[in-house]
Amino acid sequence: MQKFFQDAVEFTPILLEGAWATILVTLGSLVLSTLLGLIWALMRISGNRWLDRVAIVFINFIRGVPIIVQLFYIYFVMPDFGVSLTAMQAAIIGLGIAYSAYQAENFRAGIEAIDHGQVEAAQSIGMGWFLTMRRVILPQAFRIVLPPYGNTMIMMLKDSSQASTITVAELALQGKLIAASTFKNTTVFTLVAVFYLVMCIPLILLVARLEKANSGGRR
């Protein structure tokens, strides 16, 4: 046990570097997937047949190809078309796009759960489509979408480990490298697991807090 703690102290600085990369990948792809997901969702509910179709095709395409293949494509294939990205950029863009499909369906479900009377009330006081979304629908949908959104954040944190496949030195890859050179598999991977768990906890607390703050005064 004492040996474990000695090793832990030795490996932690390297793993912390990896954890930092994990956080960057997760935050970057979270922001990107949220923005893109919102755009797909709004296209789907826009009432415009063509926008809806484009979004459906895109979402199904993204969902049908494994994340790891999408990452390979962005990092290894795009340079053939003159687009060279750093591993970190490729990871953020790849995971951001991959997850935007799930975000979109989640957002759409939240928006469609809002009573149509709300849209009519907004229209009846002269609101156009964008104002109706911004002032009436999205704030209400936000509350419905929050629990699954929290889930998605946690999944993204863990799936950021797939960035290791395109050489991003994030937590899982750093762990693998230490383990390969020291053979202390038990110590290293236990530490890696604990690191991921510790990073998840603030996300879980954040979602719980937001849900509480948003349930005030209603129903």
Closer CB to another protein, 62 or 144, in the complex: 144
How far apart (Å, rounded) are the C-alpha atoms in residues 175 and 11? 9
Site for another protein (CB under 8 A): which residue of 136, 178, 188, 192?
A: 136
Site for another protein (CB under 8 A): which residue of 2, 80, 124, 212?
A: 124
Please work out, in degrees rounded to the nearest 5, the angle formed at the alpha carbon of residue 33 by the alpha carbons of 85 and 72: 40
Q: Is 47 in the site for another protein (CB under 8 A)?
A: no
Q: Is 212 in the site for another protein (CB under 8 A)?
A: no
Question: C-beta of 60: minimal distance to another protein in Å?
Answer: 29
- State phi, psi for 171 to the nearest 5 degrees: -50, -50
10-22: buried (b, 16+ CB within 10 Å) or exposed (e) per residue?
A: ebeebbeebbebb
Angle between helix 2-44 and helix 171-182 axes, rounded to 10 deg:
150
Q: Is 218 in the site for another protein (CB under 8 A)?
A: yes
Q: How many CB atoms lie within 10 A of CB 120?
A: 10
Question: C-beta of 166: minimal distance to another protein in Å?
Answer: 42
Site string for another protein, 139-178 (x = CB under 8 A): xx--x-----------------------------------
Return the range that interacts with another protein (CB under 8 A); candidates 51-59, 66-74, 137-145, 180-188.
137-145
Site for another protein (CB under 8 A): which residue of 16, 121, 194, 206?
A: 121
Q: Is 217 in the site for another protein (CB under 8 A)?
A: yes
> In the chain, what are the helix, strand and coil shares in percent, each to the nearest 5?
85, 0, 15
Q: Which of 104, 77, 102 is nearest to 90 (CA)?
A: 77
Binding site for another protein (CB under 8 A): 115, 117-118, 120-128, 131, 135-136, 139-140, 143, 217-219
